[in-house]
A and B are shown apart, each in its own frame.
Chain A
């Protein structure tokens, strides 16, 4: 593989540092790191890397929406999504958002390297046997509304959302009202449920029980 410039987006520092170290030992230099989707998009805009490796479960702006933005803002940058989920829905969304590849965190480092090699040669790299999923409720709202919904579900106030998106409070309230109308929901709780169902936020902790409490 020639010299490629990579930016890495993952909210868990240890995981990010680990992937960076793995890539480093394969001769791939990570030029930038980001812990949330908004910082990632900003880095990509500033550095126009060849490749962005993006965890799909990022705070503030999830990896799928970040991919969509990167695709629009930096044509030179290819995206490989990283995910814990071997899930048709996520894979389809990643493809539609313009990702070139999708690698599971279950996979060994060698597979990530293979994906990078494949994608940098101009070929897509997706898990086999995952045909496109049908359209979901995710597509009933616009990308901007999805951004707002994720931020609401993460517990941001309207004023914070306005600041993050550089929009007026009035616009944020309009978005919120439109999201509720389009999804047919009527409370904060239902908004959080919807955001989770759509995979915009990750609230689950699979396989954990704690019967002591």
Chain B
């Protein structure tokens, strides 16, 4: 049986060791290396040319998303699967646009993770859920900046009615139902873009 050679990179040792133990239960997965930071990730990928790199998206001295091109350059045959504590379609989409196989949330189970590793190792991409439109993002950013509907309408040159419709749609798509819920989401997304 052909094994899938995997490198795991996560800065939290406890999480990393847990992942190693979980994946070692699958006989067709062969763990060929681990690292706890960005430098280690690049070294590992260069040295081992794994089939799949499982990479935590947020680590000190490595921004998972912007490291993707460098990692692909280091080993063009390696498929990258990002791990994130949040399940946000924007990041999944950005990861795939940069050449990664996709993003999986840490809320997934070990079996989900295994299936995702199989899929990306076969060259597939994990489909992200529908991301927000640019206009929806603008509205969300303005809500987060504390703007009223009238101010948002003015600064985007659209009607208040349209703002209300965007707001309604945002709440439906993000499955949040209060102003505080929208702000919380906007803060999470916004902070990653700074």
Known: A14-B109, A18-B22. A204 touches B191 (CB 8 A): yes
In the bound assembly, the distance between CA atoms of A104 and B36 in angstroms comes to 14
Kindly list chain B residues whose C-beta atoms are within 8 Å of the C-beta of A122: none
Known: A11-B107, A18-B17, A105-B12. A192 touches B183 (CB 8 A): yes
Contact between B180 and A188, CB atoms less than 8 A apart? yes
Chain B 119-160 per-residue mask, 1 if CB under 8 angstroms from chain A, else 0: 000000000000000000100000010100000000000000
Closest approach, in angstroms, between the C-beta of B48 and any C-beta of chain A?
A: 22
Among the listed A84, A153, A157, which residue makes an inter-chain contact with B12, where contact means beta carbons less than 8 Å apart? Answer: A84
In the bound assembly, the distance between CA atoms of A164 and B66 in angstroms comes to 41
Closest approach, in angstroms, between the C-beta of A27 and any C-beta of chain B?
A: 14
Among the listed A18, A191, A196, which residue makes an inter-chain contact with B187, where contact means beta carbons less than 8 Å apart? Answer: A196
Kindly list chain A residues whose C-beta atoms are within 8 Å of the C-beta of B97: 212
Kindly list chain B residues whose C-beta atoms are within 8 Å of the C-beta of A154: 180-181, 184
Tell me if A209 counts as interface (CB < 8 A to partner B).
yes
Contact between B193 and A210, CB atoms less than 8 A apart? yes
Contact between B58 and A191, CB atoms less than 8 A apart? no
Tell me if B32 counts as interface (CB < 8 A to partner A).
no
A residues touching B (Cβ–Cβ < 8 Å)? 11-15, 17-19, 21-22, 25, 82, 84, 103-109, 112, 152-157, 187-189, 191-192, 196, 201, 203-213
Kindly list chain B residues whose C-beta atoms are within 8 Å of the C-beta of A155: 176-178, 180-182, 184-185
- Which residue among A19, A155, A192, A212 has the maximum number of chain B CB atoms within 10 Å of its CB? A155
Closest approach, in angstroms, between the C-beta of B140 and any C-beta of chain A?
A: 12
Known: A204-B191, A212-B94, A212-B98. A15 touches B180 (CB 8 A): no
Among the listed B18, B64, B137, B180, which residue makes an inter-chain contact with A14, where contact means beta carbons less than 8 Å apart? Answer: B18
Among the listed B61, B137, B193, which residue makes an inter-chain contact with A209, where contact means beta carbons less than 8 Å apart? Answer: B193
